[in-house]
Structure 1
Amino acid sequence: MKLNRIHHVAIICSNYETSKAFYVHTLELTVLSETYREERNSYKLDLLVGDHYQIELFSFPNPPARPTRPEAAGLRHLAFEVDHIEECVSELVIKGVDVEPIRVDPITNKKYTFFQDPDGLPLEFYEK
């Protein structure tokens, strides 16, 4: 079996318009397509991350909250590689996003930081 790469990450949001604004305007991801699925009362927004990867943003009526503390089993966070972490953090702060202090990974010596999307999903910037 040969896995080529991760194609997409799917995120279910509690407020579609709020999350759409966050991912499109705050993180400046490119919209590939947007579909309303009437039979599921659900939107699906396909977003491009860089040149190869995608985020699928879904809305469903009344999704349960994601457990965050203590950390639940499963996907821990979604990390975005960036060239200049200080610039990216500054842009988020200007847009009103709370960002943790930049830290250095003791294993890789790379800079990283965390912030959250509107539903509290942990997101990370990791400097290239």
Structure 2
Amino acid sequence: MLKLANIHHIAIIASDYQASKKFYCDILGFTLLSEVYREARQSWKADLAINGLYQIELFSFVAPPARVSQPEACGLRHLAFSVEDINEAIASLTAAGVVCEPVRIDPYTGKKFTFFADPDHLPLELYEIA
């Protein structure tokens, strides 16, 4: 069996790189570790971290095709972030103009969760761990 150590990163392609960089850094609180323009691809690449841990590669590409997100399309369903206080996190997102779905309760764990979207409508989840 393959012995994986961890998930290294998640790659996200943005239709508007600057808007997505602002969303992930200024609204969600990621730290920009590095950023480079790749001339041959006419593409930006940013490495983003949560609490010092590299988590997301954010890319721009010229005219990327839209990805089907709804209804439940085959493939990656959503990206979930853990939070200690879901109500506090929702209030922060709401203050930044981000719309969250009503809070639900996970029927298996009893934990609270909600969904929201990034600027390209990538489905994101907040999952309360407290």
Q: Percent identity?
A: 59
- Aligned twin of 2:59: 58
- Aligned twin of 1:11: 12
Task: After TM superposition, give the deviation of residue 68 of structure 1 in Å.
Answer: 1.6
Structure 1, unmatched stretches of 5+, are none
Matched, 1:48 2:75: no
- Aligned twin of 2:123: 122
How far apart, in 2, do the equivalents of 1:70 and 1:126 lie? 21
Q: Deviations over 1:40-80 (max 9, x none)?
A: 00000100023434100000000011102222111000000
Query: Which amino acid in the other structure matches residue 100 of structure 1?
Result: E
When normalised by structure 2's length, the TM-score is 0.95
Structure 2, unmatched stretches of 5+, are none
Give the stretch that moved more between structures: 50-59 or 40-49: 50-59
How far apart, in 2, do the equivalents of 1:57 and 1:31 lie? 10
The 5 Å alignment of 1:1-128 reads 1-128=2-129
How many residue pairs end up in the alignment?
128
Q: Deviations over 1:17-45 (max 9, x none)?
A: 11111001011111110010000000001
Across the aligned residues of Structure 1 and Structure 2, the Cα RMSD in angstroms comes to 0.9
When normalised by structure 1's length, the TM-score is 0.96
